[in-house]
Amino acid sequence: MKQTSIPQQVAAVDLGSNSFHMIVAHIESGGHLRVIDRLKEMVRLRGGLDEFNQLTPQAQEHALECLRRFGQRVRNFPLGSVRALGTNTLRLARNAEEFLALASAALGHPIDIIGGREEARLVYLGVAHTIAPSGERRLVVDIGGGSTELIIGEGFEALQTESLHLGCVSVSMRFFADGKLAAKAWDRALTFCRQELQPYVSRFDVSHWRRALGASGTISTTEKVVRENGWSDGAGITPEGLKALRKALLAAGEVERLGLSGLSKERTPVFTGGVAVLTALFEGLGIERMEVAEGALREGALYDLLGRIHHEDIRPRSIRAFAERFHVDVAQAKRVSRLAKRFFDSVADAWDLGAEDRDYLLWAAQLHEVGQSVAHSGYHKHGEYLVGNADLPGFSRHEQEILAVLVRTHRRKFNLKLFASLPPDSRRRVVRLAALLRLAVVFQRGRNDEEKPAKLSVENGSLKVGLPEEWLASRPLTRADIESEQDAFGQVKINLLLV
């Protein structure tokens, strides 16, 4: 549930594949952020995935120790003022949900997993807020531990986003795991990176932007190394600087012998893989110079959180765009949404539902018929798949899962098994939201603007639907539908009464 007042401080936590970061900021007048604290620990979560893509107990405990330390700083922050995000490694980990339950408890705040394109959008937002405003089109690159995000944008808007399965940890583990820095291994790594990049070159090459910016550890470390070793003219990273760096890496011969000025011991084991990714990007996209930006995912998450607090949430816009893309009947979606909201307001206190729950209900109401763009038969199942697997800017994987379940359960089968994938702490609330959506859909089956006199209330644990007898008597189909729903609601332990 959302917090009801605007907090004085907010925080963002980035559970990256290589490092965990936390940034804490004070909300100034005018909605500006002033950073007051930063924490960073090299966790190497990606290295803790076993051959079955399971996070090992040792890797989990290392990560949890870090989050407990972070939690000491933000545990007393109000609900909704901390945004914690998992990225590539947690997207891959098969036991991510089990780990997240422990991790959220350690931090003291919920942790969400976001998709690659949502990660890219937030990276761009973080960069855009930490550089001077301009009207030029920019390329932003973020090389993380397990993925690389590419973004083209203008101002504060990301126009093109992509997430590649390339990272400093994953490439280092694949090609330099033995600690040897041989020319053949470098060539294999570079070829692999070029192959992964190739499908995206036409969308992200130099013909589409005027300025290249790099974010996060690999790129900032590379810039520092080429500058401190005299391989840069002091204005960012260039192809010539990367060539000199490659020569120095191969001359060292072994990771343990790397003693480059500007390269920390913590970064050394995964540095060569990151440089290989960066070199492929320079070659493939035609980059002649890359500047280093201060902002990254955690700053973007903070500004996105600030937008939600100040009612500038991107998620409603994403829902509208998605509905338009799949030609949802807007008039019917509005009818169902209005009635669902009325039902929600009637029972919210009794059912302990908050403003965030209302958002989910109304978004699901707007999208409940989206599956009809595939086929009418079983369209609730088609809709579940579309909503659950689409790129919806602003939404975490968990948030999309809630929406997908609501779309799936707005008609036909209604049993607790359909909610089993949700975390136990949110399951009951989502079941109740689904019940409200189902009733709104039932009453709007005629697809007309006639006023529906139904009144909902919760008494003695039962959900009561009050209707004038004369109104119901003239609508036998509605009566039959409600009676059918009484049986369906029983499957989810809700006693539905018609009074």
Does position 139 have pLDDT exceeding 80, yes or no?
A: yes
Q: Is residue 261 domain-shared with residue 282, that is, in the same domain?
A: yes
pLDDT tens digits, residue range 267-277? 999 999 999 99
Q: How confident is the model at residue 134 (pLDDT cuts 50, 70, 90)?
A: confident
443-460 average pLDDT score: 96
Is there a domain that residue 473 lies in? no
Residue 399 covered by a domain:
yes
CATH of the domain at 58: 3.30.420.40
Average pLDDT, the chain: 96
451, 469, 486: which is the final residue of a domain? Answer: 451
* Judgement on whether residues 160 and 269 belong to the same structural domain of the protein: yes
> Do 73 and 192 share a domain, yes or no?
no
Query: Which pLDDT band holds residue 2 (cuts at 50, 70, 90)?
Result: very low
Please check whether residues 285 and 428 belong to one and the same domain.
no
Write the pLDDT tens digit of every residue in 35-60. Answer: 999 999 999 999 999 999 999 999 99
**Cα–Cα distance for residue pair 426/192, rounded to 1 Å:** 42
The pLDDT score that the predictor gives to residue 1 is: 41
Closest CA to 141 of 319, 286, 34, 249: 286
Q: Is 155 left (phi over 0), alpha (psi -120 to 50) or beta?
A: left
- Residue span of the structural domain in which 389 resides: 313-451
Shared-domain flag, residues 322 and 257: no
Domains: count for the chain:
3
Q: Would 277 be classed as within a structural domain? A: yes
Do 61 and 107 belong together in one domain?
yes
- Quote the CA–CA distance of 320 and 317 in Å, as a whole number: 5
pTM score over 0.85: yes
**Residue given tokens 């605007």 in the structure block:** 6
Residue 406 lies in a domain: yes
Q: Are residues 329 and 278 in the same domain?
A: no
Asked whether residue 84 falls in the same domain as residue 206, the answer is no
Q: What is the CATH number of the domain that holds 240?
A: 3.30.420.150
Q: Are residues 209 and 326 in the same domain?
A: no
Which strands, in side-by-side order, build the sheet including 33-42?
33-42, 19-27, 9-15, 82-86, 111-113
Assess whether 284 and 303 both reside in one domain: no
For residue 447, the domain's CATH number is 1.10.3210.10
